[in-house]
Structure 1
Amino acid sequence: MRVFGSVAYKHVPDQLRRKLDDKSTMMILIGYHSTGGYKLYDPINKIIVISRDVVIDELKEWDWNTNEKKNSVSVMIDEIEERQETQPVIEARRSTRARQLPARLQECELNPDSEVT
């Protein structure tokens, strides 16, 4: 028996998600179904779902104070922008390797464009 009201993560099938979508949806366990699945409540969309592919975390509870979906992507972008501002600008090093003309151009005379016109 699982603790009712605990957080459950319902698996989202590959066919219903894109490359960067979450692989699971956070829901609340509200009971068992006669088919052997779990009854889950999605407080964000306010629907009840029955699923067998569920991972239950009995130690966590749903935070009822925030009913909106947490957007962690914008927080990560803000942190990245802050890190970029604090890092010193490092200038690119120029190569010190001696440049040589290819063998086919050794006998030719090459002039820059400014000398031709």
Structure 2
Amino acid sequence: MTKPVPDPPIESTTPLAEAIQAEDLAKNREAIKRALDFYLSPQPAKPRQPSTMFLINPGIDTETLLAHAYESLASASVMASNFANELNGLQRSSALAIQQIIMLAELAVNRALDRVDPQT
């Protein structure tokens, strides 16, 4: 069987073309390394600096923080309920939905308080 097309000619490259190709490969490798480092070895996040306008004492124990959060949520629930009583229709429904979300947060905080200091 004969081949209808001869073998492709052997490509001869010039030193300039080889240098350009080597430079392109080096740039590609560098870009790949930067991308992998970015996604697989990210820089550690800088610690968040809290605002000093309202600062909670870092030495306060978790139980005290949870108790305060529970009391704040209970107050917000009462305020939302009182506000909902003044409204009608869709606005009342929205205010009651906000109150329900606050109550769910209260339940979560209450459960966390139970885990911190179980009452047996």
* TM-score category, normalised to shorter length: under 0.3
When you count helix as a share of all residues, which structure comes out higher? 2
Q: Which has the larger radius of gyration?
A: 2
Q: What is the TM-score of this pair, normalised by structure 1?
A: 0.22
Name the structure with the higher strand share: 1
Which has the higher relative contact order, 1 or 2, with Cα contacts under 8 A spaced 6 or more apart?
Answer: 2
